[in-house]
Structure 1
Amino acid sequence: MDLYALLQDFFLQIDAFTWGWALIPMLVVFGIIFTVSTKFIQLRYFGRMWRVIGGGEKVADPDQISARQALVVSIGGRVGGGNIAGVAVAITLGGPGAVFWMWAIALVGMATSLIESTLAQAYKRRMPDGSFRGGPATYIRHGLGKSFNWLVVIYAVCLLLSFALGFNAFQANTIAGAAENSLGIDRWITGIVMAAIAGFIVYGSIQRIAKVADVIVPVMAFVYLLLALIVIAVNVTEVPAMIGTIVANAFGFESAVAGGIGAAIANGLRRGLFSNEAGLGSAPNVAATAYVKHPVSQGITQMLSVFVDTILICSATAFMILLSGVYQPGTEEIDGIVLTQNALADSLGSWTLYVLTFAILLFSFSSIMYNYYLGETALRELTPSKIATHVLRLAVIAIVLMGAIAPGATAVFFFSDPLMGLLALANLTAILMLLPTALRIVKDYTDQLKSGIDKPVFDPSKFADLDLDATAWEDADVDTDAGAGRATKAKAKSKRR
């Protein structure tokens, strides 16, 4: 057996251990634990999480990222080709009932996202340029202590290899394939254009990524949701029956595929978890970059990211498919992109082929930006070398080009899903151990709201037992420790601007 085959077998075993039986039950159970322990915070603050759409807390320092910008970057990363192709496959193999379980895991996943994003914010570090960095590696190192540095290394390596390398190849392949199939554009042309744009982004900064995402993400979400609303309007009389079919299949009253309720649950949960990434340890890296007055504020914002990804975008794909006349449940071999394209064409006409290609382009490109930033964050946890960062940037550009021009190139990155499984296990281990800390921070936020403070402010001096960076909280009245002076200066600087 050659080395390639041995590696494939090794990662296949990891995939079987993580995604096969351990990870999905853990994500579901942990999501329920987080939901109950926070007293159903996703429902209590459901209305509050929409505030960020109006701009949220204002940022005076141009080196900092606003809560809204962090939101659109995380949505751009969560929403990708899987929201189109993956949902189609889940419905085909799991039946309409898969949609219900996709919704269910999104609701509990909102609480998981709040916990991991709150921890990422609480333990974030201020960089010399005034920006913030953090994420699971940071809250493992500073929350669990030096004895868990080995977990930081495992987490960072998995994040780097799966997102920055593997998933970027997949996204580039999706874009190039869609452009070739629907518009007849050669893969080389698409690859060169994408590599050039990717180079512009990766040699920028998180600020540049946030600014680009702030334009791309709202456009892509609007275009795709508008298509779904048109399909619903055209087939409005069929909507009640469709909802009834989803519920009936979800609980086994009807069965559209072999496996019945089991197939619906398995495919719905898997697609929901893959799509919204709640608990996987990726989105907290972006959540930590935002300027907010309190960690829970960004946690609530990231709940909205999960809601938009699964309840809105994934549901849009599901409704377009289920309301069409081309849906055939139980098909073993299915190209998800083709099914969604055919479903749209059946409802609205062949012109939608071009609109959908445009949506796929935006979805996938926003994911490439997000994936690169996660890779850079992971690399900085492993080494501060600027040369290493430069090598990573060149590698990402090359991988985007390779993934686009070679239809079979993505087979090289077979390790991506298994490593994402290990990434999730590392993150879940950390956030479960740090749950008491997260609940203390949530209580602080809730208590301030109850006292009449509409915009709670986080004061790290109240959490003196934690290894926090006081300078990252310029709105707090910090009078003690070495970081207080810097925090005060940063606050004064912000006011002068």
Structure 2
Amino acid sequence: MENIINAIYNIVWSDALVYLCMLSGLYFTIRFKFPQIRYIKDMITLLFKGGKSEDGSESEKGISSFQAFSLAISGRVGTGNIAGVATAIGMGGPGAVFWMWMIAIVGSASAIIEATLGQLYKEVKDGQYRGGPAFYILKGLNNKPFAWAFAIVTVLSTGFLLPSVQSNSISIALESSFNFSPITTGLCLVFFLAIIIIGGVKRISKVAEFVVPFMAGSYILMAIVIIGFNISQIPAIFSLILDSAFGGHAAFGGIVGTAISWGVKRGIYSNEAGQGTAPHAAAAAAVSHPIKQGLVQGFSVYVDTLFVCTATAFMILFTGMYNVENPAGGFIVQNLPNAQMGPEFTQYAVSQHFPNIGSAFVALALTFFAFTTIMAYYYIAETNISFISGKRKNTLLLWGLRILILVSTYVGCVTTAKDVWTLGDIGVGLMAWLNIIAIIFLHGKVYKLMQDYDSQKKQKIDPKFNNSLYQFKNANFWNKHD
């Protein structure tokens, strides 16, 4: 079974996917004239708008832009920001950090495209806004088998494969810091997760709205303090990252290809740009123009990778609390002989400056990060169950999903890290393949939407999309905005 899993992994995560993610993001960046930079001001301003019905009251069917941002961030900010960054460094050396930055910058353009499409082709189902890649593949490409393939892969990935990755990292961190048994951790996670997911998207987004800013802010604040303690080392750390990324470092020069592969791989896993997860949260927002939520989601990639992932990387590299494996066997660097690759690198790093609370702080931060990610995974899986169910609400499938994600969360706590990460990578990779191909075919529609947005901005009016001017087929939700 392990050989089969590894064979599937090697096919899904061949160099072709790495190049596809990088080159598609680069193409979107050039085609749309660097939207991830041009619209920075709009991204921040739009964070705190939306969520209203046309009469000005709070939308009963949708959530606010900030809630959608928080829901997407809860999916993006997870173990990838702590354990994933550590793994990237452990496998690809410090140079992997540079390639995480690159995939974040070009990936932000991909995130804008996919989130805008999520908004354009959303619909009202079960009394709330629903949308995502399965919806825009079906409606935009008129390809039902393709849409169903994405929906099924996503349900399996976010409902079964990926939650175990998050809970596994929680289990390792809590056992290391507080000596909690994996069984106890698993039961506690299942209990609290069950309470939240039964409440649906409104409850999930409300929890995310309060927890996400607190957890990300606290973690970045801790990183800023540690960076302040080591401010004189910043030029040396940047030099180490850049030299390692391009083969100039004596120790890491031989693993440049590995650094690129792991940097891109962990970058995608962390910020999820182009993967197809964030469009589900984007579609749930009540906004007046699809581009508005696209820009908000583009900014969420920056928060995830340029802020949170960089914070983790700097803490680890400042303190030297990491190992780097040699692809040929053994280690290039082994500063922590007994450490398991993952969150322990970050725990050791923070403990260097805060011996009494460092390990516990990282464990708690990881717990919040990973738990909110599992919440977001449930919402994504539920949205695709809704797509598969069609016009009728399938209660049996819905409860089957809830049981599946709770079982996956528990199993992740009591299994080995290597197994769950490999399965999680397969899930992420399959979703990325399908979604990126879809948005490449559909990005022309987003180009027209961005022209419409820019035109209205130049006229000093708040952009509102009117589909009667463009007649995008199957974008029925926007037909009423006359």
Matched, 1:341 2:338: no
Read off the aligned partner of 2:359 and give its amino acid letter.
Answer: L
1:65 aligns with 2:63: yes
Mapped to 2, the partners of 1:180 and 1:394 lie a distance apart of 25
Pairing partner for 2:446 from 424, 438, 445: 438
Match of 1:89 in 2: 87
Match of residue 149 from structure 2? 154
Shift of 1:67: 0.8
Q: Tell me the amino acid that sits aligned with residue 134 of structure 1.
A: G
Matched-pair contact (CA < 8 Å) for 1:95–1:256:
no
1:56 aligns with 2:64: no
The alpha-carbon deviation at position 277 of structure 1 amounts to 0.9
Query: 1:38-187 alignment to 2 at 5 Å?
Result: 38-53=32-47, 55-59=48-52, 60-127=58-125, 129=127, 131-145=128-142, 148-187=143-182
Aligned partner of 1:270 in structure 2 is 265
- Which of 467, 470, 477 lines up with 1:460 in the alignment? 467
Query: 1:388-444 CA deviation, whole Å, 9 max, x = no partner?
Result: 10121122223323332x234984795443233222221112111112111111111
Aligned partner of 1:451 among 436, 447, 459: 459
SS at match of 1:323: helix
| Structure 2 residue 392 is the aligned partner of structure 1 residue 401 | no
Instruction: Say if 1:102 and 1:415 are closer, same or farther in 2 by CA, change over 3 A.
Output: closer
What's the secondary structure of 1:61's corresponding residue? coil
Partner SS state of residue 84, structure 1: helix
Q: Deviations over 1:300-323 (max 9, x none)?
A: 000111001100010000000111
Q: What is the root-mean-square deviation in Å for CA atoms of aligned residues? A: 2.0
Instruction: Please say if residues 281 and 424 of structure 1, whose CA atoms lie closer than 8 Å, have aligned partners that are also in contact.
Output: yes
Tell me, which stretches of 5 or more residues in structure 1 are unaligned?
478-497
Identify the residue that residue 487 of structure 1 maps to in structure 2.
none
CA distance in 1, matches of 2:353, 2:208: 30
Paired with 1:269 and 1:396, the residues of 2 have a C-alpha distance of 27
Residue 367 of structure 1: which of 351, 367, 373 is its match? 373
2:321 aligns to what SS in structure 1?
A: coil
Cα pair 1:169 1:410 within 8 Å, conserved: no
Cα 1:18/1:188, change in 2 over 3 Å: closer
- Name the CA distance, whole Å, in 1 between partners of 2:324 and 2:126: 55
| Structure 1: distance between partners of 2:302 and 2:421 | 29
Q: What is aligned with 1:194?
A: 189
CA distance in 2 between counterparts of 1:445 and 1:286 reads 21
Paired AA for residue 235 in structure 2: P
Q: Which residue identity is paired with 2:306? A: I
AA aligned opposite 1:429: I
For 1:434, what is the secondary structure of its paired residue?
helix
Q: Which residue of 2 aligns with 1:489?
A: none
AA partner of residue 113 (structure 1): A
CA-CA distance at 1:128 after TM superposition: 5.1
CA contact (8 A) 1:277 1:283 kept: yes
Give the distance between the partners of 2:174 and 2:388, measured in 1 at CA: 37
Unaligned runs of at least 5 residues, structure 2:
53-57, 326-330, 333-338
Q: After alignment, is 185-194 or 385-394 more displaced?
A: 185-194
Q: Tell me, in whole angstroms, the C-alpha distance in 1 between the residues paired with 2:476 and 2:126.
A: 13
What CA distance in whole angstroms lies between the structure 1 residues aligned with 2:289 and 2:172?
43
Q: Distance between the aligned counterparts of 1:62 and 1:124, measured in 2?
A: 15
Residues 282-312 of structure 1, C-alpha deviation per residue, up to 9 Å, x if partnerless?
1111111111111000000001110011000
| Offset, 1:172 | 1.6
Look up the match of 1:299.
294
Matched, 1:421 2:429: yes
Q: 2:201 aligns with which of 194, 197, 206?
A: 206
Q: Distance in 1 between matches of 2:423 and 2:415?
A: 17
CA distance in 1, matches of 2:372, 2:23: 30
Deviations 1:354-402 (A, max 9, x none): 1111101101100110111111112222224111101211222233233
Change (3 A) 1:101 1:255: farther
Change (3 A) 1:468 1:247: same
Q: Distance in 2 between matches of 1:448 and 1:247?
A: 41
Measure the CA separation in 2 of the matches of 1:409 and 1:253.
Answer: 32
Distance 2:255 2:408 in 1: 40
- Matched AA of 2:22: V
Are the counterparts in 2 of residues 98 and 267 from structure 1 also a CA contact under 8 Å? yes
Q: Distance in 2 between matches of 1:255 and 1:308?
A: 32
Aligned equivalent of 2:252: 257
Q: Distance in 1 between matches of 2:216 and 2:421?
A: 28
CA distance in 2, matches of 1:101, 1:415: 23
Q: What does the per-residue CA deviation read over 1:29-73, in whole Å, with 9 as the maximum and x for residues that have no partner?
A: 1001111110111110012211244x2224222442111101011
Is 1:318 the counterpart of 2:313? The answer is yes
Q: 1:255 touches 1:261 (CA, 8 Å); kept in 2?
A: no
Could you tell me the TM-score, scaled by structure 2's length? Answer: 0.91
Q: 1:494 corresponds to which residue?
A: none
Q: Deviations over 1:427-486 (max 9, x none)?
A: 112111112111111111111112222x2111111121421123x576x22xxxxxxxxx
Number of aligned residue pairs: 463
For 1:276 and 1:413, the matched residues in 2 are separated by: 16
**Which residue is 1:391 aligned to?**
400
TM-score by length of 1: 0.89
Q: Structure 2 CA distance, aligned partners of 1:210 and 1:10? A: 38
Report the CA distance between 1:336 and its aligned residue.
1.9
Identify if the C-alpha distance between structure 1 residues 92 and 186 changes in structure 2 by more than 3 Å, giving closer, same or farther.
closer
Do 1:161 and 1:416's aligned partners in 2 also have CA atoms closer than 8 Å? Answer: no
Once residues 424 and 328 of structure 1 are traced to their aligned partners in structure 2, the CA distance between those partners, rounded to angstroms, is 29
